C-alpha cells in the first residue's frame, strides 16, 4: 500500500503555500508603503510650515511679487532679479520639502497600485 499523496493534492498544497506567500509579501509591502506615506506626511507638515515662515522672513515673497508689479523692470534686470530671488530662498528647506513630497507621492501611488493588484488577486 503506497502512502504518497495524489499529484492533484500535491499541486493544491503547493498552490496554497504560494498563495499564502504572495499574500504575506503584499501585506508587508502595504505596511511599508503606508508607513512611508505616514512618515512623509508627518515630516512634510512641519517642513512646509517652517518653509513658509522662512520665505516670509527672507523677503522672498516681496522679491517675487515684483514680477507682478514691475514686470518690465524685472525683465530688464532679469539676471539680478533671479540671483536675488535664489539668494533669498531657503534652498535646504525647499529641497527637503520636495524630497518628502516626492516620497509621499511615490509611497501613496505604490500603495494604491498594490491595493488594486491585491484586489485583482483576491477575486
| 2 lies in some domain | no
The region, left, alpha or beta by phi > 0 then psi within -120 to 50, assigned to residue 84 is alpha
In a domain, 1, yes or no: no
pLDDT of residue 6: 80
Whole-prediction pTM: 0.73
Query: Does 21 fall in a domain?
Result: yes
* Residue 35 within any structural domain of the chain: yes
Pick from 116, 119, 107, 104: nearest CA to 47: 104
Residue 82 counted as domain residue: yes
State which residues form the domain around 106: 7-122
Among residues 52, 54, 51, 78, which one has the least CA distance to residue 67?
78
Q: Count structural domains, the chain.
A: 1
pLDDT for the residue numbered 8? 87
pLDDT score at 38: 95
Instruction: Give a yes or no: residue 54 inside a domain.
Output: yes
Q: Is 90 helix (H, G, I), strand (E, B) or coil?
A: coil
Examine residue 72 and state whether it is found in any structural domain, yes or no. Answer: yes
pLDDT 10s digit of each residue in the chain, 123 long?
567 778 788 889 999 999 899 889 999 999 999 999 999 999 999 999 999 999 999 888 998 898 899 999 999 999 999 999 999 899 999 999 999 999 999 999 999 998 888 776 665
The verdict on residue 89 lying in a domain is yes
Amino acid at each position: 500500500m503506497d502512502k504518497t499523496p495524489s499529484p492533484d493534492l500535491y499541486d493544491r498544497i503547493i498552490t496554497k503555500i504560494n498563495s499564502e506567500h504572495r499574500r504575506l509579501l503584499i501585506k508587508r509591502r502595504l505596511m511599508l508603503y503606508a508607513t512611508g506615506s505616514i512618515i512623509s506626511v508627518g515630516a512634510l507638515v512641519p517642513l512646509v510650515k517652517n518653509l513658509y515662515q522662512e520665505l516670509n522672513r527672507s523677503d522672498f515673497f516681496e522679491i517675487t511679487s515684483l514680477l507682478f508689479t514691475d514686470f518690465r523692470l524685472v525683465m530688464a534686470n532679469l539676471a539680478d532679479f533671479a540671483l536675488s530671488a535664489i539668494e533669498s530662498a531657503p534652498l535646504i528647506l525647499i529641497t527637503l520639502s520636495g524630497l518628502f513630497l516626492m516620497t509621499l507621492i511615490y509611497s501613496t501611488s505604490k500603495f494604491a497600485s498594490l491595493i488594486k493588484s491585491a484586489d485583482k488577486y483576491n477575486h
